[in-house]
Amino acid sequence: DAGITQSPRHKVTETGTPVTLRCHQTENHRYMYWYRQDPGHGLRLIHYSYGVKDTDKGEVSDGYSVSRSKTEDFLLTLESATSSQTSVYFCAISPLGGEEKLFFGSGTQLSVL
């Protein structure tokens, strides 16, 4: 998957607990994205980054925060997980902006009970 590793691949947690998902890339791409995918819905952009310490909100950013302290790592944090955040989370990277030339990781299945 184009040098992208998401961890963990699966996680089960309880409502109200903090959760951090990690995306690690070896391609040295500038742009990184977090999406969620729910049954019957298209992918939805949560947050994205256009450089180290440079991030911005996507369509469904409420309840999520991100950090990028190194080019290769982009972290997604759910400060207090809710059942509505049960989803599959995908990280994507790109050498270009504007969600062009996206390469996706294999996803993290998150279940919030």
User: Which residues of this protein are in contact with another protein, per CB under 8 A?
Assistant: 1, 4, 40-45, 58-59, 90, 92, 97-99, 101-102, 104-107
Least distance (Å) from another protein to the CB of residue 16?
Answer: 28
Closer of 27 and 99 to another protein (Cβ): 99
Least distance (Å) from another protein to the CB of residue 30?
Answer: 14
Closer of 14 and 59 to another protein (Cβ): 59
Least distance (Å) from another protein to the CB of residue 53?
Answer: 19
Residue among 90, 94, 96 at smallest CA distance from 76: 90
Cβ atoms 24, 5 nearer than 8 A:
yes
Cβ atoms 55, 67 nearer than 8 A:
yes
- Cα separation, 41 vs 64, in Å, equals 19
Closer of 18 and 68 to another protein (Cβ): 68
Give the distance, in angstroms, between the CA of residue 95 and the centroid of all CA atoms in the same chain. 17
